[in-house]
Amino acid sequence: MATDVHRPVSPRAAQAGPTTQAGPTTQAVPVPQAVPVPQAVHVDGLTRSFDGRAVIDRLRLDVRPGEFVALLGRSGCGKSTLLRILAGLDRDIEGTVLVPRRKAVAFQAPRLMPWKKVWRNVLLGLPGKPDRAVAERALKEVGLDHRTDAWPKTLSGGEAQRASLARALVREPDLLLLDEPFGALDALTRIKAQRLVGELWQRRGCAVLLVTHDVEEAVLLADRVLVMDDGVIAHEQRIDLDRPRDITDPRFAELRAGLLERLGVDTAAEAA
């Protein structure tokens, strides 16, 4: 059942190749053999090269439905490229990529169309002629119902990011891709936005892939933290802390320190 909502992000070059020749429905047949547990995301042997240099090199990744996965990594390690591939925005790839048909992206910049009012931005690209009430519900969910009629350029950074979240959520995605969505926010707004994303995820139950460089944010929100390095998932860390999580918890600090060390930041110097 879960397989029929999946759609391979088919590599352009390999379209004629024997492995990816089949369409979405027929291709789903061999997939359950390879993946016994239904996955929201299944990536195997993914390679993406820029000018002959593999930024992503035979990467494997599985995300369970409803799982919150954070993807950490130094800048330039290919984590944003991976997200763009999963979003279907980058098709110059080799390998197998299965993603839900219903997926949504929230980018680091809110990327709202400045010439459309907030509620029209939320409904943009939805099939049919959705009612304004649909947008209003989604905006209420992110606490932005008072700015429904505003022009995007009059929103504050936090408000714009919430509008972008509403635009993603209104698509009722099975997979929500977040590309450093809090990166451009100030510290206080970021805490609020992180909390909001945590709540929305618990309410919606969709799988989330959060790309970030903020270790604390990853430990705060994710079920599983992946560290990407040299084009592969180099390290995986389950986070079993109870929610809501407390950043002053010693176990939290321990996980944070462990991940920072993985990322090549020496936390010993900080502690001394």
Partner 1 sequence: MSISHAPPDSPKTDISVKSDLEQPVSAVEVVPLLPASSRRTRVPRWLRRTAGPVLLLLLWQLLSSTGALTADVLASPGRIAQVGGDLIADGSLASAMGTSLQRVAAGLALGTLVGTGLALVSGLFRVGEDLVDAPVQMLRTVPFVGLIPLFIIWFGIGEAPKVAIITLGVTFPLYLNVYAGIRGVDTQLIEAGESLGLSRWGLVRHVVLPGALPGALTGLRYSLGIAWLALVFAEQVNADSGIGFLMVQARDFLRTDVIVVCLIVYAFLGLLADFVVRSLERLLLQWRPTFTGR
Contact indicator for 150, 118 with CB cutoff of 8 Å? yes
93 binds partner 1 (CB under 8 A): no
For the chain, the DSSP string reads: -GGGGEEE---SGGGGSSSS-S-HHHHTTHHHHH-SS--SEEEEEEEEEETTEEEEEEEEEEE-TT-EEEEE--TTSSHHHHHHHHTTS----EEEEEEESSEEEE-SS----TTS-HHHHHHTT-SS---HHHHHHHHHHTT-GGGTTS-GGGS-HHHHHHHHHHHHHTT--SEEEEESTTTTS-HHHHHHHHHHHHHHHHHH--EEEEE-S-HHHHHHH-SEEEEEETTEEEEEEE--PPSSP-TTSHHHHHHHHHHHHHTT--HHHHH-
Window of 10-18, 72-80, 148-156, 207-215 that interacts with partner 1 by CB under 8 A = 148-156
Q: Cβ of residue 150: shortest distance to partner 1, in angstroms?
A: 10
Q: Cβ of residue 261: shortest distance to partner 1, in angstroms?
A: 22
Q: Cβ of residue 111: shortest distance to partner 1, in angstroms?
A: 4
Contacts of partner 1 in 58-87 (CB under 8 A): 87
Contact indicator for 197, 125 with CB cutoff of 8 Å? no
116 binds partner 1 (CB under 8 A): yes
Nearer to partner 1 by C-beta: 109 or 233? 109
Tell which one of 104, 193, 225, 227 touches partner 1 (CB under 8 A).
Answer: 104
213 binds partner 1 (CB under 8 A): no
Using CA atoms, how far apart are residues 21 and 14, in angstroms rounded to an integer? 8
Nearer to partner 1 by C-beta: 65 or 88? 88
Contacts of partner 1 in 150-179 (CB under 8 A): 151-154, 167, 171
Window of 15-23, 68-76, 114-122, 226-234 that interacts with partner 1 by CB under 8 A = 114-122
Contact indicator for 50, 76 with CB cutoff of 8 Å? no
Q: Cβ of residue 99: shortest distance to partner 1, in angstroms?
A: 12
Tell which one of 28, 93, 105, 239 touches partner 1 (CB under 8 A).
Answer: 105
Window of 61-69, 123-131, 141-149, 184-192 that interacts with partner 1 by CB under 8 A = 123-131
Q: Cβ of residue 176: shortest distance to partner 1, in angstroms?
A: 12
Tell which one of 113, 146, 156, 238 touches partner 1 (CB under 8 A).
Answer: 113
**List of residues contacting partner 1 (CB under 8 A):** 87-89, 104-105, 107, 109, 111, 113-117, 124-127, 151-154, 167, 171, 272
